[in-house]
A and B are shown apart, each in its own frame.
Chain A
């Protein structure tokens, strides 16, 4: 755990932790609103938007990618409405069709275009490039206080830290309206709360987290972190505040344990190469969810309506 760890593992772990937390925070409210698949949907739609933004600007930069992702989300919403109305089918089916089709279009575009110069291909879209976000100029823990080395931290770290901070601050400021409108939308409306705007803001915040995280860690982590940590935390507590705090802890823990297990697990088990960190992090969060579903203290409903579920 010395110089090599700081250079090779510290920044990927930090980026993974920040991405996981940024996705898990809005994920809590999406899960409670039974909109968990919105997170899934966003991370799919984001891909073609990012590819188009890249093709137009020729560079991987945060602002064009965010705009591209937002544009793709708008196109997706328009398509969903059109399919739902013209085809007269339920919104869930229209969503499923649009998101998978757009994601597939994104994959094809990626394949047919020359993106060899940058970290943008199908594999990265799914699994990110967490392992490559290393801190070249670091040569030990002392680098943490060395301005020259700090200046060469991977830019994804700063981007992810800012995103995570924005998501956390928004969650804190709008805690009460989010909680109220998630629990009892009708009542929230009678108070004059802009319920539709709050819902839109939540999805937009989730999209921000998804776009920022997608670039660094890929869509597998994004999808897993929107759902697994919040769902596991829900079964560990009956208080919303504790649930959100626990979900952040589970997300961070999954990122750390997953990264270490992916890097060293196969070696410890006598195997050869390491495995995908993104895949391992998502798998760990799934295991935590399974454990919470089996052993969590708040899995059961006791009062009225228990038999109806």
Chain B
């Protein structure tokens, strides 16, 4: 089955985002498959997070079209789950772990709907899936970095979405958390969900992901890891910032 035969979980056309004079993301078009894990990689300041946020409407886009399972974003919000960067929120906020996970149910309970026992059980199941079921009542300011990341992932699971977008999910977490998160993400893929993650560790791209999008303001390359994640495309993405020796360590075939 070729990529063209199925509706992409997420597609962006001609996406341009600017924070000032200089575009942060310029004219990027890409499609992300369902039942696959895609890494968005590129150097710092390449617009990886910005692209993700613009696709979700978190930051405004100058131009470009976004479709989620073939629908406009506004009609498909219930099918999207988002895991922001840990550092984007204030963990001193007065709330506990289960409460944060319950925020993932907002679209279901609405403004004044009751939080029922079933909702709480779902939240606790999501916490169990990420391996921190004992932390439901814990104040979020007492969590380690890895635990914070797991809470955010549990909140996304509670959204029961079809497309999971994660911004640097492995940044600054311990090895156990990284393993736990990748297991959850692989489980989502096995259920037929689409997973798209901004990723920064080039050495794990091959082991974790099926597809890759190389980004440096513009789209440099995209496709299955074995085809697109090459020494040439890395060189084109990172320029001189990536030493030849580093690329050699990745053990890539030369295209």
Contact = CB atoms under 8 A, between A and B. Distances in A.
Interface of A: 32, 173-174, 176-177, 179-180, 182-184, 186-187, 189-193, 234, 237-240, 242-243, 298, 301-305, 309
Interface in B138-177: 139-145, 147-148, 155
A237 B93 CA distance: 11
Interface string B170-191: 0000000000000000000000
Contacts of A190: 56-58, 77, 80, 82
Given A183-B90, A189-B58, A239-B95, A304 B106 contact: no
B248 interface: no
Given A240-B94, A301-B92, 5 more contacts: A176-B106, A183-B93, A186-B88, A238-B141, A305-B91
Contacts of A242: 94
Nearest to A305: B91
Interface centre among B53, B89, B145 (most CB of A within 10 A): B89
Contacts of B144: 303-304
Given A187-B103, A190-B77, A238-B96, A177 B111 contact: yes
Contact of B111 (A173, A182, A184, A240): A173
A303 B89 CA distance: 14
Bin the interface of chain B by size: 35 or more
Contacts of B77: 190-192
Nearest to A238: B139
B204 to A, nearest CB: 22
Nearest to B49: A186
A174 B111 contact: yes
Given A238-B139, A240-B95, A180 B80 contact: no
Interface string B104-137: 0011010110000000000000000000000000
B8 interface: no
Contacts of B56: 189-190
A25 to B, nearest CB: 15
